[in-house]
Amino acid sequence: MASPNPRKEALVTPGPPRFTSTTSPDQTVDRSMSSIVIPDMQPQSSFSKTTPSESDFCVPDNTEEFWADNLRQARKKIAHIQATVDANVKISTHNLLVSGLEQKEIQQLLQKKHSGSRATFTDEQVLFQIIPGNAHEQLIVFLQQNFVRAMEAASCPMTRSTWVGIGATSSKGRFCGKEPDWGVRPIAGGTSGATNLPPAEEPWPSLVVEVGSSQGHASLQRDARWWWNNSDGATKLILLFKIKDTRGFAVEVELWEEVVAHDTGVATRSRPPSISTNLQRTQSTTVDASGQHSSISLRYSTLMRQPPGPTHPEFVVLTPGMLTDICAPTV
């Protein structure tokens, strides 16, 4: 008897359920060997790089799994979840793993931006992490405006020869691709842009911004590691905004950046001193109505991939007032 889904067919090994599945009884889902089903993890404060053979397509264990027979079905499912999440007073993250689509259909699915969602994808599957669209889009819009202000204060306005802001533009890593919520890429060879950067690293943003709910804290931190690891360190700054699960105004902001670690052991002729790099959370603050939060400072040389000039400060600063404007809900 012919398979009801000739495009993909897989045997699912019996075991304890890890997903909320919405497949039909006669359908099986092709779980790519490159994906990892992971339990919810405690947040961390630092990461080291993964090995080239270690997959980083991570699927949280509370993920809803959906088999889509066509592109229209997938879009309808995403829109339904988005409407449900938007109607919920409590800020939450809904994880959806879409399987069953051809590679061309996946590209078409990603071309249409879905409000409030972040996508991680392979050639066979797409993992959507969905939060309320209004809160998500509002934060991104005000972040862009205030970041431009911060760069102008640092004598580095956005021009065709300095830097550009990037939206949800896909970047392909070793095992999977990702879309950031926003990011910054200096213009290579521009007046204030990157210098002496390997060509393979030029397309990667120097700064990536990811927005999620505090329920998805560990997931956001894994996203930070993904950008740093897959760009081979070209993306050294990752700014995370975690909208807390409260009806009030509270957003946790974390800056993750590459930190150089020097070997503290005694160097000898046979054992020279070693230098390694890690991704660490270097700054954090909770932005709320109290106004007691601190600023977030981005190192200019890391952001622009070259030392600051005579008119540039050492840091580009998102002031407490800017962070309030970025994170405060619209009245």
Q: Are both 76 and 208 inside the same structural domain?
A: no
- 54: in domain: yes
Q: Name the more confident of 164 and 265.
A: 164
Q: Are both 197 and 62 inside the same structural domain?
A: no
Q: Are both 139 and 264 inside the same structural domain?
A: yes
Domain end, chosen from 88, 108, 130, is at 130
Q: Say yes or no to pLDDT of 206 above 60.
A: yes
Q: Are both 200 and 308 inside the same structural domain?
A: yes
pLDDT, residue 294, reads 97
- 48: in domain: yes
pLDDT, residue 330, reads 59
Domain end, chosen from 130, 148, 175, is at 130
- 15: in domain: no
Can you read off the two tokens belonging to residue 196?
């002496």
pLDDT, residue 53, reads 60
Quick one: average pLDDT of 303-320?
95
Q: What is the pTM of this model?
A: 0.79
What are 105-140's pLDDT values in tens digits?
999 999 887 778 889 999 999 999 998 888 888 999
Q: Are both 139 and 77 inside the same structural domain?
A: no
Q: Are both 222 and 113 inside the same structural domain?
A: no
Percent of the chain with pLDDT over 70: 73
Q: Are both 39 and 171 inside the same structural domain?
A: no
Strands 64-67 and 20-21: parallel
What are 50-82's pLDDT values in tens digits?
665 667 888 888 899 999 999 999 999 999 999
pLDDT, residue 88, reads 80
Q: What is the mean pLDDT of the chain?
A: 81
Lowest mean pLDDT among 35-44, 195-204, 294-303, 314-323: 35-44
Which structural domain, as residue segments, surrounds residue 137? Answer: 133-327
Q: Say yes or no to pLDDT of 256 above 90.
A: yes
Quick one: average pLDDT of 292-297?
97
Task: Give me the half-sphere count of Cα atoms (radius 13 Å) on the Cβ side of residue 237.
Answer: 23
- 238: in domain: yes
Which residue spans within the chain are E strands per DSSP?
Answer: 20-21, 35-38, 46-47, 57-60, 64-67, 94-99, 117-121, 125-130, 163-166, 171-172, 177-178, 182-186, 207-213, 237-243, 250-262, 275-288, 296-299, 315-318
What is the domain count for the chain? 2
CATH number of the domain within which 185 lies: 3.90.1570
What are 148-187's pLDDT values in tens digits?
999 999 999 999 889 999 986 789 998 999 989 999 999 8
- 10: in domain: no
Q: Are both 103 and 141 inside the same structural domain?
A: no
Domain end, chosen from 101, 130, 159, is at 130
